[in-house]
Chains A and B, each alone.
Chain A
């Protein structure tokens, strides 16, 4: 890393010598392994290493960025020159210089928490693990489609800036998941997945795999898929609905996390990801949710997929109250956007690798737990529905409305689970939805769900985010079928 630091310092020195008022350089090396098993055969087994550096400069009050995969002092200096030229070009349009909130300089070394480095486990052992999951699923002859996947990533990064920061971070992520299905006909299939659709990802090592009881899960999922194949469609009604916690995780992601990204609120994503209904004139006023509902952004959570020591502009990770007792109290922000609402940056600037500009992204967006067990939530629903596992999602571009589809639903009758329904969906308006939350699961129901593929920005960037969630009871929710 000493050689990399020398290269990165060469970049920011060159940028300063060419007139940059601020510059930072990020080196990022990502090592990943992706393994899949599908219907008895290995699928897309791959190993990846990706490294490079990105130089971000402020020149004459405008941003410029250039990234290169060639790691040498000469190339770092070329990247700095290119970034300066690009920044100066921006001034053909921009007449007002960008202002940045102050940030402290740090020299630090951060490592995420893990017990077993997944890259010390032989590939053959990982494939055997998947082959065993495939065999377990194949034991039920009614299962016609099965897949299992593992994904591991180790990211090593160095951030240096002209204010004197030098931050080295090493972060490990692991992911595991299965999906099985039954084909009733060529036109009708019923899928069930575990721990959630697409698998569960956390900031942990290989030990993550031991946290899930796949043997009993496969038995249960197979029974549920069989039940779905003869189940009626979910009724189109307005009902009290209990949503399982992984559903709540993705709902938080889409209609709490995204609308509270402050760059989006200001219109930076107007032509792509969209805007936000939660405009800054509503800060500290908007009753975003019922009074029992609070959300925090927490990059310090030990196991979230959005956990880190420092964001990609050198702001130290910390907790931020986004919605407290139902009221909108803050946003996810950068140095540039926070200063526009006279707040401190939330530490949410994150870039996809070395070759992209950092954007305001979610870290871990967590619902604070309530006081109910899952059974108490179902009992409190009286008559209604219980839904599990997201299968589809579609929010409006300003995130004021949404529709989600789920893999399975059960009738709730007299506070107890009844028959299974297929193809359930729910839709509504964001503020109305969160204000209809009548009860929240307790600490024991909390899990930080990982989203490894959150898309935003142009060129498209992929972020890994966490959502801490519990099951919730929502009253008068519009339910339908796909």
Chain B
């Protein structure tokens, strides 16, 4: 993993830059992952890499170059390429300037024990889970990863940031002899706080649930979504609506609805990178310090997240949500929290005469983005609720549902929240009980 010496390399490169403005970013990662299936470790790997981005601005022209050569010579070459890209480019009338930021507060999300966790330690944990699964006649598949990341941003306006985080992620699919499965996952910064057996047991219990899976008819159902399923919806909802680019282009479901109700009043969503469960990198890829943003408050649209480019277009200031310089998605919230309610999962089930309990969704994809309509499947633990009790497993069903409509039909929100990792994000989300949810037989 790269050290703070990269700051000196970057500052030296910026001194010789011929661009009007220059930004250098380095993201360095030590990544380890143990992957298992059929009760065996089938992939076990490590990787050490650094990605360097240079963004050069020449007048209204910008150019980005990326490499993984973090040497002084490599960075100098990258600067040359980015400047060439900018010089040969066309004017971008919307580009205003890079941003000068003060030093962000120190990140609280690095734990040496997570960074030092060995392949042998991960595999010993997997062995314990496999033994437990075998004793219940189940088969296991999953992943156990640990990583440490540094992020460094320096620009010619004086911004200078450097910090590091650690992370563990774990997922398990337990499979019964008849093919039915159960799922659980967990993530966090400090592996010393991780109870892997408790997390694993959730998946094992679901796979071992007795009875044959029954096939239900297509229809609208009351559903209780586990946090994984809620996070599946939240990730795609955010992509369609919470970023400054979609807001600016009028493609967001919030574009002309700020201050208006867009979801049920039980739903409050914030971008909260400093939440104790998140402990996120305290600045973004432009070096702008992150802050808490209220996106939806009691169902009312409040704000989006911005980088400097889209903040400039919207007449706002950046919220510290820039992605890497060569992305074209625009700003994105990577640390969302859906506020807890005051229900319990047991209360949700007890109050449901007829419904479906959903562990997670699979392969959600937009069918009609303007309506936030998605299609996909339930997966790895879907159960029938009858007369206030879970009674039997059901065959997985197809989801065809507007996500905003679902968040408008929320009846209960749990007090319990779980931290769910998906792609480069972490989401802290509760269980939701939702009425009139569209599911169809496959």
Do residues A93 and B41 form an inter-chain contact, with CB atoms below 8 A? yes
Q: Which residues of A contact B92 (CB under 8 A)?
A: 41-42
Q: Which of A66-74, A107-115, A464-472 contacts B (4 or more CB under 8 A)?
A: A66-74
Q: Which of A15-23, A263-271, A445-453 contacts B (4 or more CB under 8 A)?
A: A263-271
Q: Which of B62-70, B286-294, B340-348 contacts A (4 or more CB under 8 A)?
A: B62-70
Task: Give the docked Cα–Cα distance between A393 and B363 (Å).
Answer: 8
Q: Is the interface of B mostly helix, strand, loop or mixed?
A: strand
The answer, yes or no, to whether A325 is at the interface (CB within 8 Å) is no
The answer, yes or no, to whether A241 is at the interface (CB within 8 Å) is no
Task: Please tell me which one of the listed residues A50, A52, A63, A189 contacts residue B44 in the complex, with CB atoms under 8 A apart.
Answer: A63
Name the distance in Å between B242's Cβ and chain A's nearest Cβ.
17
Task: Please tell me which one of the listed residues A51, A68, A96, A396 contacts residue B442 in the complex, with CB atoms under 8 A apart.
Answer: A396
Task: Please tell me which one of the listed residues B66, B69, B250, B366 contacts residue A47 in the complex, with CB atoms under 8 A apart.
Answer: B66
Do residues A52 and B49 form an inter-chain contact, with CB atoms below 8 A? yes
Do residues A49 and B69 form an inter-chain contact, with CB atoms below 8 A? yes
Tell whether A186 pairs with B250 under 8 Å between CB atoms, given A67-B49, A68-B49.
Answer: yes
Q: Which residues of A contact B15 (CB under 8 A)?
A: none
The answer, yes or no, to whether B33 is at the interface (CB within 8 Å) is yes
Task: Give the docked Cα–Cα distance between A396 and B442 (Å).
Answer: 9
Nearest 8 interchain pairs by C-beta: A270-B141, A482-B367, A44-B328, A89-B119, A46-B326, A65-B45, A271-B173, A271-B141
The answer, yes or no, to whether B159 is at the interface (CB within 8 Å) is no
The answer, yes or no, to whether A245 is at the interface (CB within 8 Å) is no
Total A residues in contact with B, Cβ cutoff 8 Å: 75
Looking across the interface, which residue of chain A has its beta carbon closest to that of B124? A92
Task: Please tell me which one of the listed residues B48, B120, B142 contacts residue A68 in the complex, with CB atoms under 8 A apart.
Answer: B48
The answer, yes or no, to whether B193 is at the interface (CB within 8 Å) is no
Do residues B69 and A271 form an inter-chain contact, with CB atoms below 8 A? no
Where the two chains meet, the residues of B that have a C-beta atom closer than 8 Å to any C-beta of A are 31-50, 62-69, 81-82, 84-85, 88-90, 92-94, 118-120, 122-124, 126-127, 130, 139, 141-143, 145, 171-173, 175, 181, 183, 249-251, 255-256, 325-328, 362-368, 370-371, 373, 375-377, 379, 396, 398, 400, 423, 442
Do residues A423 and B143 form an inter-chain contact, with CB atoms below 8 A? no
The answer, yes or no, to whether A463 is at the interface (CB within 8 Å) is no
Do residues B49 and A93 form an inter-chain contact, with CB atoms below 8 A? no
Q: Which residues of B contact A268 (CB under 8 A)?
A: 37-38, 42-43, 141
The answer, yes or no, to whether A136 is at the interface (CB within 8 Å) is no
Q: Which residues of B contact A87 (CB under 8 A)?
A: 44
Task: Please tell me which one of the listed residues B47, B325, B423 contacts residue A66 in the complex, with CB atoms under 8 A apart.
Answer: B47
Type the 1/0 row for A379-420, where 1 means its CB is closer than 8 Å to any CB of B.
000000000000011111100110101000000000000000
Do residues A127 and B328 form an inter-chain contact, with CB atoms below 8 A? no
A395-B363, A459-B33 are known; give 9 further A-B pairs, CB within 8 A. Answer: A48-B65, A48-B67, A67-B45, A124-B89, A267-B141, A270-B181, A394-B364, A459-B31, A482-B375
| 12 pairs, CB–CB < 8 Å, chain A vs chain B | A41-B93, A49-B69, A66-B47, A89-B120, A92-B41, A187-B371, A266-B38, A267-B175, A270-B181, A271-B183, A427-B398, A482-B371
